[in-house]
Amino acid sequence: MKKYLLCGVFGIMMCSYAAGQNYHPFPTIYGNWLYQYYDQFGNPVHFFTNIILSGDTIIGTHSYKKLSASINLGGVDGNCIREENKKIYYYHPDSLAEYVLYDFNLEAGDTLFNPYSCCPLAPIDTVVIYSVDSVLLSDNQYHKMWQTMGCDRWYDGVGSDVDLLNPYHGCYLSPHFNLECFTGDSGLVYQWNINCLVGINGRDENISTSVYPNPITTQLNITLANNQSSIIILYDITSRKLLQQSFVNSVSINTTQLESGIYFYEVRSDNKMVRNGKVVKE
């Protein structure tokens, strides 16, 4: 089963014990976790869901990032997370209170209590950290990796490679989700499946790019100051490609046919993704 491989078969990470790497916080602007479903035999099923950051909210005295899902399994919509002191706090709608979902200060042998079991038939309310290592992810940055009591692995700036909001699974001898790729504020961070939604050959931050307005109503405008042939790709919340259009310097896209909701875009030029993000159609 592929999840038992410590290093991805597609080379998404190189195992290393690199010391002193910087801590990577969770995204605050753009976050897209793409999960694929696997059956009880470890075979991939053509069933995907995205969990994305979908805005800000204030609950009590804290500011949170709202989450939504393309397929709202487990009631993702309405859940919220926030980060403080390398801890990810989760506001669970059933509890009317927050609890620590991830603690990226933990060391090998430490435990973290989870008040909500992920598996009703085999409750697991405490996660045990077996080891803490460092790996090179798809952003060419070293991230700390926490191996838990089961098969889950946590990465700073990413979360669990099995279930973002239930990172306490004990085994994979049952149907489960697997993190195929994750894109954050700075672009692609984690890639397991080579076919997942990513840019190509990195991301060029040196090209001035504008994508506006946001929210959009009747049109989306893109300007790119490099005098080269570029493309804009627009996806819906399930990562289905809606359109791809070539342009030089600027283009306006008619969006009247789009339904209200959240959409993702990528702007690419010279085989590099120069900008990606999300827009809201009113």
Q: In this structure, what token pair is assigned to residue 252?
A: 């306006």
pTM for this entry: 0.63
Q: What is the pLDDT of residues 164-205, one digit of tens each?
A: 887 765 554 566 778 888 988 878 899 876 555 443 333 445
pLDDT score for 221: 92
Strand, helix or coil at 3?
A: helix
CB atoms near residue 273 (< 10 Å): 20
The closest alpha carbon to 188, from 232, 231, 140, belongs to 140
CB 41 within 8 A of CB 187: no
pLDDT tens for the chain, 282 residues long, are 334 333 333 333 334 344 446 899 999 988 888 887 776 666 666 566 778 888 889 998 999 998 887 655 556 767 899 999 999 999 877 777 888 999 999 999 999 887 765 554 445 678 889 899 999 998 889 999 998 876 688 999 999 988 888 776 555 456 677 888 898 887 889 987 655 544 333 344 556 778 888 889 999 999 887 888 888 888 776 667 788 888 998 999 999 999 988 787 878 776 666 777 778 888
pLDDT score for 76: 72
pLDDT score for 175: 64
CA angle 268, 8, 182 (to 5 degrees): 40
The number of angstroms, rounded, from the C-alpha of 65 to the middle of its chain's C-alpha atoms is: 13
